[in-house]
Chain A
Amino acid sequence: MASATGIRNKNIELIKAAVDTDYYLIVVTTNQLAGILKKNYDKHGIPEEKIYFVDAVTKYAGGTNLPPMKNCRYISNPGNLTDMGIAIIESIKELEGKKTCLLLDSINSMLIYIPSHHITKFIHFVTNKLRIQNLSGIFLLVEKGIDPNVLSQLTTFVDEVIDTDTMESIS
């Protein structure tokens, strides 16, 4: 969990930390364009071959003229959870045998497109996939932007809830 203003920086910090510990990352982005994120990562010295994107917003924003990106799967609509699930599974398969971590940025921006109960089910689905494959996952969210009941449900799917502002474990 992070503050609304700090969540973008946390994305980069967490990815850097993961890459430094030899992780490959599947970045599921529902708020920022993958191309912009990639540029930011390059700027921070994050090796592009270690990042795989599932971009749910570029096509949605009509960004058809953007140059094609390596290791990036585009979804036409961020509300299409089926396509998002398929893209995640394909990315996991592609990284099979590698130390992989999934980063979902962010649950709050997903709420623009999807009702909370569908998000809860989707997160449950993704966490189950990760557990089965023995993979790591990070789900970013702004604490104040989510109903405590939904948050408490989401908390039951994960191993630990960390406040990234203080880096203290909450759960």
Chain B
Amino acid sequence: MAGFSNSFSDERMKILTLIILAVICIGLEILMHLYLGVSIGYTHFFYVLLVLAAIWYQKKAIVLAIILATLHIAVGYFIAGESIWALALRGAMFVIVTLLVAIMSEELELSRKKLFTEKERLSESEGKLKVIFTSIQTGIVIVEPETHTIVEANPVAIKLIGVPLEEIVGKLCHHFICPADAGKCPITDLGNEVDNAERVLLNFRGEKIPIIKTVTPVYLNGRKHLLESFMDITERKKTELLLKETNERYIGYIKEAAMRLRTPVEVVGLNLKLIGDGIIKGDYSQEEIVSLLKLQAKNMEQIQQNIRDLNKTIVSSFGEISPASEKFLTE
């Protein structure tokens, strides 16, 4: 039907075809009915004209059916003197058949239009998805779960992996997006969920790129697939590492401060107590007392110097600090 419809799609061809058929029908009516007196049989040919007219012009074809029916009845009744009922029945059949085909044609046309609209909508939707798929700043890879082969990858994924799409599609997923060994797929073999999980992606050099990954089972073309979406978190990891190093340095300074300030102050405090006890007991000479106290004074000076040294290190190592605060800490 589609091929037939297509070959006659040209409007002019349709009208011409109908005119030729109408001329043949009128000719048959005159020849068969009027001259030869045959009132049945030839009218079957009328249906070719009426069905085609109904298919192409739907209910407008009823006008043609009425004209043909009137002509047939007029010739039969007024000229040949035939029974009006038989003629009317034939004429009515022309109109009924035309009406039915017209209704079916209208339904068909409506369905076709609906189908076309749906196709347009799907095409538009597919276009939008394609735009999203290619412009989203998240890597997307679609994996066939039975063979673990990659069937599609978006530009971000291609860029992260570092090889053209043709070299990615068809490859096993654990060559690139999952470093798990074959047979140990966390999703299909181990039954785990991967939802915003920190994982690594292997690029073409075998370098591990830290990513946040989510794997979602989806149905594409009626078959189950794994949609793996991921984001590169290299910069975040670098920041985390930097923060960790900074924290470790802070802790290092705090520990060093505890060892070089708290403990020495305790040592000096204990020394002074013991010196005091010794003086009371008369253990030390005058000169020894002076030396012992001088030593503790020197120790305290050194502890002050330690505080300044640690402050200087902290000031030079950690971020911005106002000149006034820097002066206060280091002088």
Residues of B within 8 A of A112 (CB): 260, 264, 267-268, 299, 302-303, 306
Q: Is A20 an interface residue (CB 8 A)?
A: no
Q: Nearest 8 A-B pairs (CB), nearest first?
A: A145-B263, A61-B295, A63-B291, A112-B264, A61-B294, A147-B255, A61-B291, A111-B259
Q: Is A132 an interface residue (CB 8 A)?
A: no
State whether B284 touches A36 (Cβ < 8 A): yes
Q: Is B220 an interface residue (CB 8 A)?
A: no
Give the shortest distance, in Å, between B290 (CB) and chain A (any CB).
Answer: 8
Give the shortest distance, in Å, between A45 (CB) and chain B (any CB).
Answer: 17
Partner of A66, one of B267, B287, B298: B287
- Complex CA gap A39/B299 in Å reads 22
Q: Is A21 an interface residue (CB 8 A)?
A: no
Residues of A within 8 A of B295 (CB): 33, 57, 60-61
Q: Is A164 an interface residue (CB 8 A)?
A: no
Question: A5-B270, A33-B291, A116-B256 given as contacts; is B263 within 8 A of A142 (CB)?
Answer: yes
Partner of A36, one of B255, B292, B299, B306: B292
A window 30-54: CB within 8 A of B: 31, 33, 35-36, 39
State whether A113 touches B263 (Cβ < 8 A): no
- Complex CA gap A150/B255 in Å reads 10
19 A–B pairs (Cβ distance < 8 Å), ordered by A: A33-B288, A35-B291, A36-B284, A58-B291, A61-B292, A61-B294, A62-B291, A63-B294, A65-B287, A108-B263, A108-B267, A111-B260, A112-B268, A112-B299, A112-B302, A112-B303, A145-B262, A147-B259, A149-B255
Give the shortest distance, in Å, between B117 (CB) and chain A (any CB).
Answer: 73
- Complex CA gap A112/B270 in Å reads 14
Q: Is B13 an interface residue (CB 8 A)?
A: no
A window 99-135: CB within 8 A of B: 108-109, 111-113, 115-116
